Structure 1
Amino acid sequence: MRNDWSGQTFPHPPGRRPVVGDVLGTDPATPLQSTMRRGADLGPIFELKIFDQKFVIVAGAEIAAELADEARFEKALPPALVALREFAGEGLFTAYNDETNWALAHDLLRPAFTRDAMRRYHPIMLAAAQELFDTWDARPGPVDVSADMTRLTLETISRTAFSQDFGSFTREDQHPFIPAMIAALKAGQRKGTLDSMPGSALMARRIDKRNAPHQAYVDGLLDDLIAARRASGQDDVDDLLGIMLHSPHPETGQRLDDLNIRHQILTFLVAGHETTSGALSFALHHLSRDAEAVRRAQAEVDRVLGPDRDVEPTFEQVPKMRFVRRVLDEALRLWPTAPAFGRSPRQTTTLSTGHVMRPQDWALVLLPLVHRDPAVWGADADEFDPDRFLPERSHGRPPHVYKPFGTGERSCIGRQFALHEAVLVLARILHRYDLEPDPTYELRVSERLTLMPAGFELTLTPRSPSPGTAPAA
C-alpha cells in the first residue's frame, strides 16, 4: 500500500535523489539507527522516501500521544509487518484490525495472562532460569549475554505456551526449529525492505524459493504438535495451546481453527522471547556501566531475598523489586526492543501539525526518538537514569509518551508476562553474581525483528549477598 499522504510533504534529510529518494543515506544493516541519526534535527515529524514509498516518521512525544488516541486512530501495518504475515499470518501482532480471528484470539487468550495464570507460569520461569545459571556456573569465562538471554526466554515461552522443551541448555547444538524460524523471519524482513524497489517481485520470488524449506519445517513442526495434542484428548492442560484448542468464545461459542492456532503460537514464540531477551540484555548493559545502580539493585534484592544466593523468589516477592523494575523501564525507554508501531486514522482527520491524514495513510511512531524527546524527558534524555520512573517524577508526565509495549487495544497482550519474567530473572542474576563488563566494549545494537545488543559479554563472578539481610515478609 503506497503511503502518499495526498502529496503533502514533511521535512526530510538532505541529499534526496530522483527515483531512489533518500536511499543513499540509509544503512541497510541498521536502518532504524540510521533513521534516528538522520532525523535528529528534522523536528517532531519527518519523512523518508525509499524509491516510491513514503515513510512518515513521528519523533516527537506530543504527536505520538495524539496518535495514541484510540477514538481517532488505530493500528496500521507498514510494509515490514505486511511481509511478516507470510510467516505469522493472522497472529495477534500481524492481523489486520478487521480480521475476525484477531478479536476471537484476543478474547480467548486474555485469561492466559491474568494474575492466576502468572502464578502458574512462575515456577516454569524459575526452572528455566536455574538451567541457565547451571550452565554459567559450569562454564568459566565471559558469557554472551544476548545469546543466553534469548535461549532463556525462548525456553520460557515455549514451555508456557505449548509445554515444549527446545533443549536450549542441554543440547550441544541448536534445536533445528530455531535456525528455521530465524531464516523465515529474515526472509519476511527482506521482502518488506524490498517492497518499494524496482524489480522487487522477482527478488521476492527468489527469497521465497530459498526460504521454502525453512517455512515448511516451522509450519510442519507446529502443525504436528497441534495435531498430537488434539489427538491426545487432553483437555486439562492449561498452557496457551490448551486454551486455544479447548476454549470456546464465552459469548459466541466460536473456536480458533488449527491454522490460526499455529499463527498464534508463532507470534508468541517470536514476540514473546525476542522482546524480553532484548530488554534483559539492554538492562544488564546499562547496569554494568553504572556501579551505583548495581549497588542499589543488589541491596534491594538482598533485602527482599535474603543472604542465600540460591534462594528463588516467590511470586509475591517479584513486585517488591521496584528498583529492578525501574532499571528495566529505563532500559526499555532508551532501547524499546519493539522500536516502532504504525498508526492510521479511523476517518480523515487533521493532525495538530496541520497535516490531513486519511485512513489509507500511515505514520510510524519511532519509539527510541519519542522516548528521548527532551520536552518530556529533559536535557539528559540520552542518559540512563532508573529514577526517572520514581512515582514522584512520573507524576505529571504527559500520558502516552512511554510505549514500549505498543498502544491501545492492539498493545502487547503479554506485557505482564514479560515484565514478571524480566524482573524475576534480573533480580536472580544480581543476587547471584557480580557483573564485570569488557571495558573496551561500545554498545552496538543489532536490528532483527527487534533490537538487541550485539557482541555484549559479561564476566559473572559468584557473589555473597549481604549477610545482615533477611527475606522480606
Structure 2
Amino acid sequence: MSPTAPHPQPTHSLHDIPVVDISDTGPGRTPLQQVMELMRAHGPALVRRLHGRDTLFVGDLDLVTDLADETRFAKAVGPALENVRAFAADGLFTAYNDEPNWAKAHDILMPAFALGSLRTYHPVMLRVARRLIDSWDRCARAGQPVNVPDDMTRMTLDTIGLAGFGYDFGSFERDEPHPFVESMVRCLEWSMTRLSRTPGSDHSAADAAFRADADHLAQVVDEVIAARVDSGPNAADAGDLLGLMLTAKHPADGTTLDTANIRNQVITFLIAGHETTSGAMSFALYYLAKHPAVLQLVQREADALWGDAADPEPTFDEIGRLTYTRQVLNEALRLWPTAAAFSRHAREDTLLGGRIPLRAGQAVTVLGPMLHRQPVWGDNPELFDPARFTAEAEAARSPHAFKPFGTGERACIGRQFALHEATMLLAMLVHRYRLHDHADYALTVKETLTLKPEGFTLTLTPRTAADRVQAPLPGAAAQHPAQAS
C-alpha cells in the first residue's frame, strides 16, 4: 500500500460491512498483512475491492463459528487456490468438494495419519532432525549464523520425502535450497501475484517461467514415483503415503487412485507437508529467541526428560509429554498461522451471522491472524504468551477461536504429523543449544501462499551438562507470565 494512503476509506457499506477499494493503492507486497491492517482500521469483517473484484474477509469469532457449520458451508477453492490448481490439480488441498478424487484420496490416506502410522514415521523424523543438528553443530563450531527458515525448510522437505515417499532429497548436502523448493516457491509466488494483476497487462514471460517451474515439480514427482515402482514388487506396498496411493483400494467400491491423481497428491504433500511446518517452527524459534523466560521453561521441560544427554533418543511417547513445548508452538501458530487464510462458500442462500446475506456458492475468506487476535484472547492479543494454551485455558475458549489448520472435513489431514515433528525438533534444539539473537532481528513476515519470518538468523553455542541440571519444571510453570513482544 502507498504510505500516503495506509487505510483507504470505505467507499460504502454492504449490509453494515465496509467496502474498501484498494485499486488505486494496489495490493502491496504482502496482501494478507495488508488486509490485516485494513481490519485494524475498519473492523474484523470487510469487503476488499480490487479492480472491481470483491472479496469478503472475516476474522470475527461469531462469523467464523457460523462458517464452521458443515450443513450450511463448505470449503471454497478461492482465487489463490485456483491458481495453485495449475500445478496441483485435484490434490487433497486444491480439489473441489464434488471431485470424486477428493473423497477417494481422503478415505484411502486417512489411515496413514492414524496414531499407529505416526509411530512408524517417528524414526524418520528423528533421523532427519539429526541432519539438521549436524549442520547446526558445524555452524556453531565455526561461529557462523544459521538461516532458520531455510534450514527448517530443508529439514521438513527431507522428512516428508522420506516418511511419505521413501525419497531422499538430501537437502543438507546442498549449499543452496533444493531445486524443487526453488521451483515450488516460485510457483506459490506466481499463484499469489496473479491475483493482483492489472487487467490488460502482459504477463506472458511470468506465465512461461511458471510453466517451466511447474514442469520441474512434475518431473521430480515422476522420479519419486518411478523410483518406488522400480525398486521391486514389494516396495509399492510399503505402508507409507506413496505405498497406499499405489496399492490401496477404496473401501466402498474397490477402486484405486489413477496415476495422474497420485502425481497431484505427491505434489500436494511435498508442498503442504513441509512449507507450513517449516514456517511454524521458524516463528516458534523467533519467539523463543525474543522471550528468554519462555525459552528457559522449554529447556527445563526438555531437560527433565533427557537430563544431561547432549544427544537424546526421544521416543514417540516422550514427545506427547512435551506439553509446554507444544503450547509454545501453538502460540506461535496463533500469532502467525502459516496457512493464514481459508475460504468457505454457502451451500445455499443464507444469512451469515444472521445478518450478512450470502448467495449459494458465494465465498468468504477467514483471515486466521485476525481471528487469533479477537477479544476472546484477552486484552493484549499481540503478546506472546504460551499460557493461552494450558488445558484449562483451551477448555474455557471456543474451539472455533483457533484455526491454524482450516476447519471441518477439509481441515489439514497431516496436522498431527506436523505437530509431532515440530514439537520434537523444538525440544531437541533448545536442549542442545543456547540461541543468540545476534542481529537483533526485527520480524519481517514473507508471504507466498504461506507465511515465514524472512531473513531470520541465529548464532548458537552448545549447552553444557551443567546447563541442563535444573529443578524440575513445576506444575504451574506453564502459567509463567511471558515477556511483552
Structure 1 length normalisation: TM-score? 0.92
Q: CA RMSD in A?
A: 1.9
Name the amino acid aligned to 1:407: T
Matched residues, percent identical? 45
Shift of 1:164: 1.1
Distance 2:65 2:316 in 1: 34
The Cα shift of 1:173 comes to 4.0
Q: Deviations over 1:156-201 (max 9, x none)?
A: 111112111111111344433232222233233332333xx4226x
1:25 and 1:173 mapped to 2: Cα distance?
36
Q: Which residue of 1 aligns with 2:187?
A: 184
Q: In structure 1, what residue type is equivalent to 2:265? A: Q
> 1:221: Cα distance to partner?
2.5
1:223 corresponds in structure 2 to 222
- 1:226/1:258 contact within 8 Å kept: no
CA contact (8 A) 1:74 1:343 kept: yes
- Equivalence for 2:62: 62
1:438 matched to which residue of 2?
Answer: 438
Equivalent pair of 2:342/2:366 in contact (CA under 8 Å): yes
1:235 is matched with which residue? 236
- State the match for 1:33 in structure 2: 33
Q: In structure 1, what is the equivalent of residue 476 of structure 2?
A: none
Partner of 2:170: 167
Q: Which residue of 2 aligns with 1:3?
A: none
Q: Is the 8 A contact 1:312 1:428 kept in 2?
A: no
Does the Cα contact within 8 Å between 2:434 and 2:463 map onto a contact in 1? yes
Q: Determine the structure 2 residue equivalent to 1:269.
A: 270
Q: Give the aligned length.
A: 454
Q: Give the 3-state SS of the residue equivalent to 1:178 in structure 2.
A: helix
Decide which moves more: 387-396 or 111-120.
387-396
Q: Counterpart in 1 of 2:306?
A: 305
CA distance in 2: counterparts of 1:230 and 1:469, whole angstroms: 53
* Alpha-carbon distance in structure 2 between the residues aligned to 1:228 and 1:294: 42
Q: Which moved more, 1:40-49 or 1:441-450?
A: 40-49
What secondary structure, in the 3-state scheme, does the structure 1 residue paired with 2:49 have? strand
Corresponding residue for residue 294 of structure 1:
295
The equivalent of 1:129 in structure 2 is: 129
Please state how far the C-alpha of 1:77 moved relative to its aligned partner: 1.3
Q: Deviations over 1:396-431 (max 9, x none)?
A: 212211100000000000010000000000000011
Residue aligned with 2:24, SS = helix
Distance 1:349 1:343 in 2: 13
Q: In terms of mean alpha carbon deviation, does 182-191 or 338-347 score higher?
A: 182-191
1:41/1:174 CA distance change after superposition, 3 Å: closer
Match of 1:4 in 2: none
Q: Name the CA distance, whole Å, in 1 between partners of 2:439 and 2:388.
A: 26
Query: What does residue 199 of structure 1 align with?
Result: 200
- Per-residue Cα deviation, 1:322-368 (whole angstroms, up to 9, x for no partner): 00000000000000000000011111111225121112211110010
- Matched-pair contact (CA < 8 Å) for 1:121–1:160: yes
Are 2:50 and 1:47 equivalent residues in the alignment?
no
Instruction: Please list the CA deviations of residues 286-341 of structure 1 after superposition, one character each: whole Å capped at 9, or x if unmatched.
Output: 11111110111111110012210211211110010000000000000000000000
Letter paired with 1:72: R
Match of 1:83 in 2: 83
**In the TM superposition, what is the alpha-carbon distance from 1:468 to its structure 2 partner?**
6.2
In the alignment, the residues of structure 2 paired with residue 335 and residue 367 of structure 1 have an alpha-carbon distance, to the nearest angstrom, of 8
Call closer, same or farther: CA 1:385–1:175 in 2, change over 3 Å.
Answer: closer
In structure 2, what is the equivalent of residue 318 of structure 1?
319
Counterpart amino acid of residue 360 in structure 1: G
CA contact (8 A) 2:237 2:246 kept: no
Distance (Å, rounded) in 2 between the aligned partners of 1:172 and 1:42: 45
- For residues 319-468 of structure 1, what are the structure 2 equivalents within 5 Å? 319-352=320-353, 354-374=355-375, 376-438=376-438, 440-464=440-464, 465-467=467-469
Amino acid at match of 1:389: F
The corresponding residue for 1:209 is 208
The residue matched to 1:103 in structure 2 has which SS?
Answer: helix
Within 1, Cα distance between the matches of 2:121 and 2:407?
25
Structure 1: 5+ residue runs without aligned partners? 1-6
Q: Are residues 309 and 469 of structure 1, via their aligned partners in 2, closer, same or farther at CA, if it must alter by over 3 Å?
A: farther
Residue 378 of structure 1, CA deviation: 1.0
Specify which of 152, 169, 174 is matched with residue 149 of structure 1: 152
DSSP-derived class of the 1:41 partner: helix
Q: Is the 8 A contact 2:15 2:355 kept in 1?
A: no
CA displacement at 1:138 relative to structure 2: 1.2
Post-superposition shift, 1:8? 4.3
CA distance in 1 between partners of 2:176 and 2:283 (Å)? 26
- Aligned partners of 1:157 and 1:272 also within 8 Å: yes
Tell me the CA shift for residue 470 of structure 1: 9.5
SS in 2 for 1:92: coil
